[in-house]
Structure 1
Amino acid sequence: MPTEVEYTHGHHESVLGLHSWRTVQNSAAYLLPHLKPDMTLLDIGCGPGTITTDFATILHEGHVTGLEMSSSNVFERAYAHAASRGVTNVRFVAGDALALPFPDGTFDVVHAHQVIQYVGDPVRMLREMRRVAKPGGIVAAREADMDGLVWYPDVEGLKEWQEGYIEVARASGGQPRAGRRLHAWAKEAGFADENVTLSASVWCFCTPEDRAYWSSLWADLTVSSHFAVSAKKYGICDEERLKRLADAWRKWGAREDGWFTLMSGEMIARV
């Protein structure tokens, strides 16, 4: 495993397209019953800010901070998205998820969606999330488990893609089976078992629009994002294999009977 962890996807346009699709409703619904309008919330790994801005509309009497490892053009998108919705109680800052740039006990809620699996030290990140949460506050996380993929029909190449993705993620220092391990990492990070609530949910892609979106997204990501760079760097895939795996996604997307689900583990941990 490398000493420096690489974000498997990078910030290619296809990756930002995936992030921009995410909302509180499709990616953080498990957290909604625990939110109150006057809360403060930190959204770690905010990307282009769609989930973050959703949180800000829900916490309209409070304030939301989105944190990303690099400001770059991601923050331009995030602020533009917030402005387009008339949301002003949100800010975006650059920072490291393993060394959060905030004092102890700053936020009522500390949230991460599909981030812990990429940081290389999940327990350290959860400890940081716990540190900046107020006493009695919430640490919330939702993480995919890449073994938890189910699709139909069995298009040749998709199983190979799944196995290749897991191999690349692990070679990059990530934890592609994070969803099933959240509670174990939380215990190591100092959360008491009785303060941890677990659940799971899925993304399901089965309509013609969903299939077109999901298949083209992963076809592009497979050959054009940092995933492709890492796959070649670690000798897992060459250019020809990457193109073949991308074609498998396109073939699946063209099937009228196509169906795909991705399972994620979810955790609410009280401080």
Structure 2
Amino acid sequence: MSSYTHGHQASVLRAHSWRTAQNSCAYLLGSLKPDMKILDVGCGPGTITIDLARLVPQGHVTGTEPTAAQEPVLQQARETAAQQGITNVTFSVGDGYALPFADNSFDVVHAHQVLQHVSDPVKMLAEMKRVVKKPGGIVAVRECDFATMTWHPPSERRSKWHLMYDRTARANGGEPNAGRALLSWALTAGIPRECIETTIGTWCIASQVDKEWWSGTWADRIVSSSLAESAIKHGIATKPELEQMAADWRDWCTAPDAWFGVMHGELLCKM
């Protein structure tokens, strides 16, 4: 079994709430139609989910989190939707390994940065395939690839952070380099190769506003999230080491030439 490396603490939700349909699933947007029924697996605080609902005004979007323990996150998503006046969206508990929906239920089944955290991504993809309409439905997944992360200026402590995250994610049963494995997982899940479009997306953190947000969320997560708890539990880093990594992130954003980038693998599976 796997456990979610980041957790759902405020430091994590603040970072994930930055995500929008445009910056996190642009590869999917050209395929959307106003009346589509969409499932967003592992929706977190729901900012992408709500954006998708806005793009299908005659349709409906359902966001799920795997267990009742995530109910506070789902409630936050509901409140965000209400504040924005978005009514064609619902949020509920739904295990990605056994989605509580019938076969052929959705026009689009989407997951963003979810498969990297689960112990059996092939099983989850097969379940997403089960509930999408056939023919004509779309399974859309996007995952980052931690090994492709690059930054400037160089920093030994940031390199230690990078290794710490990789080791902690793997100790929790995940695959931090999921982006490069998506195609292989989809094929193993029984999705025909001729149905799959592959692309690469990126996040580039370079403006001062983005750098302050990115460095602040990582600095907080390193010391105040499930990531910190897991790193200490597995003997990967000590609390003082994590505090040094956090301080390094806060220093990084003050450099005028600071820059950070990461690649994401993307699959658009048109069934």
Shorter-normalised TM range: over 0.9
3-state DSSP class of the match of 2:30? helix
* Alpha-carbon shift at residue 72 of structure 1 (Å): 2.3
1:25-40 equivalences in 2 (<5 Å):
25-40=22-37
TM-score (norm 1): 0.97
Separation in structure 2 between the aligned mates of residue 171 and residue 188 of structure 1, nearest angstrom: 24
1:129 corresponds in structure 2 to 128
Separation in structure 2 between the aligned mates of residue 10 and residue 69 of structure 1, nearest angstrom: 13
1:37-48 equivalences in 2 (<5 Å):
37-48=34-45
2:93 corresponds in structure 1 to 94
Letter in 1 for 2:52: F
Unmatched segments (≥5 aa) in structure 2: none
Separation in structure 1 between the aligned mates of residue 12 and residue 229 of structure 2, nearest angstrom: 14
CA contact (8 A) 1:52 1:66 kept: yes
* Alpha-carbon shift at residue 263 of structure 1 (Å): 1.1
3-state DSSP class of the match of 1:22? coil
Find out whether 1:15 has 2:1 as its counterpart: no
Letter in 1 for 2:83: S
Separation in structure 2 between the aligned mates of residue 87 and residue 134 of structure 1, nearest angstrom: 25
Q: Once superposed, what is the RMSD of the aligned Cα atoms?
A: 0.9
2:79 corresponds in structure 1 to 80
More strand per residue:
1
* Alpha-carbon shift at residue 248 of structure 1 (Å): 1.5
Which whole-Å deviations, capped at 9, do the CAs of 1:73-124 have from their partners, x for residues lacking one?
1122111111111110110011211111111110000000000111110100
Find out whether 1:206 has 2:206 as its counterpart: yes
Separation in structure 2 between the aligned mates of residue 72 and residue 64 of structure 1, nearest angstrom: 18
1:59 corresponds in structure 2 to 56
State percent identity of aligned pairs: 51
1:104 corresponds in structure 2 to 103
Separation in structure 2 between the aligned mates of residue 93 and residue 174 of structure 1, nearest angstrom: 24
Separation in structure 1 between the aligned mates of residue 171 and residue 75 of structure 2, nearest angstrom: 31
CA contact (8 A) 1:8 1:168 kept: yes
Unmatched segments (≥5 aa) in structure 1: none
2:250 corresponds in structure 1 to 250
Which whole-Å deviations, capped at 9, do the CAs of 1:135-189 have from their partners, x for residues lacking one?
0200000001000101111123111111110000000000101000100000000
TM-score (norm 2): 0.97
CA, structure 1 residues 156+251, in 2 after alignment: closer, same or farther (shift >3 Å)?
A: farther
3-state DSSP class of the match of 1:197? strand
3-state DSSP class of the match of 2:262? strand
CA contact (8 A) 1:191 1:270 kept: no
Separation in structure 2 between the aligned mates of residue 131 and residue 145 of structure 1, nearest angstrom: 26
3-state DSSP class of the match of 1:151? strand
Letter in 2 for 1:16: L
Separation in structure 2 between the aligned mates of residue 109 and residue 83 of structure 1, nearest angstrom: 23
CA contact (8 A) 1:103 1:132 kept: yes
Number of matched pairs: 268
3-state DSSP class of the match of 2:39? strand
CA contact (8 A) 2:119 2:174 kept: yes
CA contact (8 A) 1:22 1:50 kept: yes
CA contact (8 A) 1:155 1:251 kept: no
CA contact (8 A) 2:71 2:93 kept: no
3-state DSSP class of the match of 1:66? strand
Separation in structure 2 between the aligned mates of residue 259 and residue 243 of structure 1, nearest angstrom: 22
